[in-house]
Structure 1
Amino acid sequence: MQAPIRRGDEVPMLRFRPAATSDRGLVRDNNEDSGYASAGLLLVADGVGGNAAGEVASASVAHVVASFVLGSRERQDPVALLSDAVEFAFAHLGDGVRRDPARAGMATTLTALLADGDGFTLAHVGDSRGYLLRGPDLCQLTRDDTLVQELVDEGRITRQDIPTHPYRSVVVRSVTAGTTPDVTIARVALQPGDRVLLCSDGLSDFVPEHVIGDLLDVGTPTTAAQRLVDAALAAGGRDNVTCIVGDVDEGNPHVRHNGHLVGAHRNPVNLIDPAAALAQSLARAATVG
């Protein structure tokens, strides 16, 4: 059995044991979701429905964030790292529109969870979700950036009204090519034994939260991710669905291989400029290293 990886202060480093599954669903012609899962990064991005080139937006933003993390050095500020990645992703989408004006309006959600060895940092914008399963208790780590959530916060509707509300799919914040994204980035407290789920709204819109908790609490991360996707398909599969599951465990999160890509992220055709994203990530690492 491998000994735990510990730093000088004897606090164990923590990482993810990850799994990722994505499906275009039973109605959509293509998959505009993108996902990435590794020991150090879990990520889901969902091209905003109704906008042009959603698969390009989600895949390119996922690629940028993953490239920044893969190009980073240990002990870099994780909040600054994710902030810089999102800032470049915004500029990157703008470059994509300049290359192809038919992409104007493309946008994507982004929910990413980074393990840096000292803890975990969450970046979130849009209506994809992050959940934490600790023992039998499931809690939502993210707040939906949607019109209906704003109405709930204002007391104008209840959470029970959301599934039937005519504007339930309206996203009020996302990563776009036209407006600087307003992304929530915060440290989160995770511990060994926790299980986390990042998912697109193709799961959370159609599968009740108590069912999500029950399915998440079964088997390996791979088993849980597949069961969750299967549940979304059984509920009608009316949207793309992506589930990224990670178990928090002792180990080194700074592993540079074995990342798992799913959805639109798997197709290089959907990436605006892979070389530019990688070059920018390496340039950043050299500057802050």
Structure 2
Amino acid sequence: MTYVAVTALSHVGLVREHNEDSLVVGPWTVCGTTTRSPQTLLFPLGRPLVVAVADGLGGHPGGEVASELVVRQLALLGPSLDGAQAVEDALNLCNRAVHSATDGRPELTAMGTTVAGTLLLEDSLLSFNVGDSKVFRSAPDGLRQVSVDDSPPPLPGHRTTSAVTQTLGGSRAHHVLTPHVAAFPLSTGDRYLVCSDGLTDPVPDEAINDVLQVHDDGKAAFELWKAAIAAGGPDNITLALVRVGA
């Protein structure tokens, strides 16, 4: 039998007071909490499986509310998703749901979240994202980002930027959503990393690749978290490693 192994963790980091990240793996969600260690779940390949990270917008109230709402929606919708159009429709539904959740709740005005993830089907994988959370493909020849950042170029002398140009929810002036969705053939041995920018801002891609090249999933997840913490843990850290095995 071909299976999908998903190893995931979520941690508040060293600076933030609470965790505004949320995670969905199939029917399971982790919202606004810290996992004590990487957890691995196994699923048979064939049924639609969503693995995604949502990163609530910092500096706005309700980031954890928005990210939780999105992953819970994706957990419900996941089994019915069958292709790129279905993923786009699901993300637009999530966008409307986040906006609707602010009605009559002025304390949540402009709340929003990024999202990035994968949909695994029987013979293909779809990568999707809105915002600057990321999806990478890890292969023997290196690491390749397959998501598309919704962010402006970093300022001179800076490697990253915290600004985002598109989110789920957020300002109603930017309610028209253009999700990024890409399809890839799927085969045994494929490995993908889904993560919030709490990992990729402090840890360069080269260091992430070095970890993934030498460690299996559980150890790799721990070492990636450890690298983000060693770099100061400036933001919430959430990641999921997705592997197709036999």
TM more than 0.5: yes
Alpha-carbon distance between aligned partners in 2 of 1:201 and 1:82, rounded to the nearest angstrom: 22
Give the residue type in structure 2 aligned to 1:16.
Answer: V
2:165 equivalent to 1:172:
yes
Alpha-carbon distance between aligned partners in 2 of 1:112 and 1:28, rounded to the nearest angstrom: 23
2:239 is paired with a residue whose SS is strand
| 1:76-115 correspondence to structure 2 within 5 Å | 77-115=82-120
Aligned-residue RMSD, C-alpha: 1.9
Alpha-carbon deviation of 1:193? Answer: 1.1
Give the residue type in structure 2 aligned to 1:171.
Answer: V
2:103 is paired with a residue whose SS is helix
Query: Quick check: 1:33–1:46 contact (8 Å CA) kept in 2?
Result: yes
Greater shift, 171-180 or 49-58, is seen at 171-180
2:63 equivalent to 1:54:
yes
Alpha-carbon distance between aligned partners in 1 of 2:10 and 2:214, rounded to the nearest angstrom: 18
Greater percentage in strand: 2
2:201 equivalent to 1:217:
no
Give the residue type in structure 2 aligned to 1:42.
Answer: V
1:18 is paired with a residue whose SS is strand
Query: Quick check: 2:25–2:75 contact (8 Å CA) kept in 1?
Result: no
Structure 1 segments of 4+ aligned residues over 4 angstroms from their partners: none
2:51 equivalent to 1:42:
yes
* Structure 1: unaligned runs, 5 residues or longer: 6-14, 152-156, 251-289
| 1:1-289 correspondence to structure 2 within 5 Å | 4=1, 15-38=3-26, 39=43, 40-70=49-79, 72=80, 77-148=82-153, 161-163=157-159, 168-176=161-169, 178=172, 179-250=175-246
Alpha-carbon distance between aligned partners in 2 of 1:57 and 1:133, rounded to the nearest angstrom: 29
1:112 is paired with a residue whose SS is strand
Give the residue type in structure 2 aligned to 1:106.
Answer: M
Q: Alpha-carbon deviations, 1:223-257, whole Å to 9, x = none?
A: 2112111110111011111111011224xxxxxxx
Alpha-carbon deviation of 1:99? Answer: 4.4
Tell me what 1:286 maps to.
Answer: none
Query: Quick check: 1:25–1:239 contact (8 Å CA) kept in 2?
Result: yes
* Structure 2: unaligned runs, 5 residues or longer: 27-42, 44-48
Higher RCO (C-alpha 8 Å, min separation 6): 1
Tell me what 1:282 maps to.
Answer: none
Give the residue type in structure 2 aligned to 1:182.
Answer: T
Q: Alpha-carbon deviations, 1:54-98, whole Å to 9, x = none?
A: 11111111111121013x2xxx63213212211211121122101
Alpha-carbon distance between aligned partners in 1 of 2:62 and 2:153, rounded to the nearest angstrom: 25
Alpha-carbon deviation of 1:222? Answer: 2.3
% identical aligned pairs: 34
Distance 1:138 1:212, change over 3 A: same
Alpha-carbon distance between aligned partners in 2 of 1:242 and 1:231, rounded to the nearest angstrom: 13
Give the residue type in structure 2 aligned to 1:90.
Answer: N
Alpha-carbon distance between aligned partners in 2 of 1:188 and 1:162, rounded to the nearest angstrom: 32
Greater percentage in helix: 1
Alpha-carbon deviation of 1:103? Answer: 0.6
TM-score normalised by the chain length of structure 1: 0.72
Tell me what 2:31 maps to.
Answer: none
Query: Quick check: 1:199–1:242 contact (8 Å CA) kept in 2?
Result: yes
Alpha-carbon deviation of 1:101? Answer: 2.0
Q: Alpha-carbon deviations, 1:105-164, whole Å to 9, x = none?
A: 011111110011131111111111111111141111122111126x8xxxxx6xxx432x
1:120 is paired with a residue whose SS is strand
Aligned pair count reads 222
Tell me what 1:278 maps to.
Answer: none
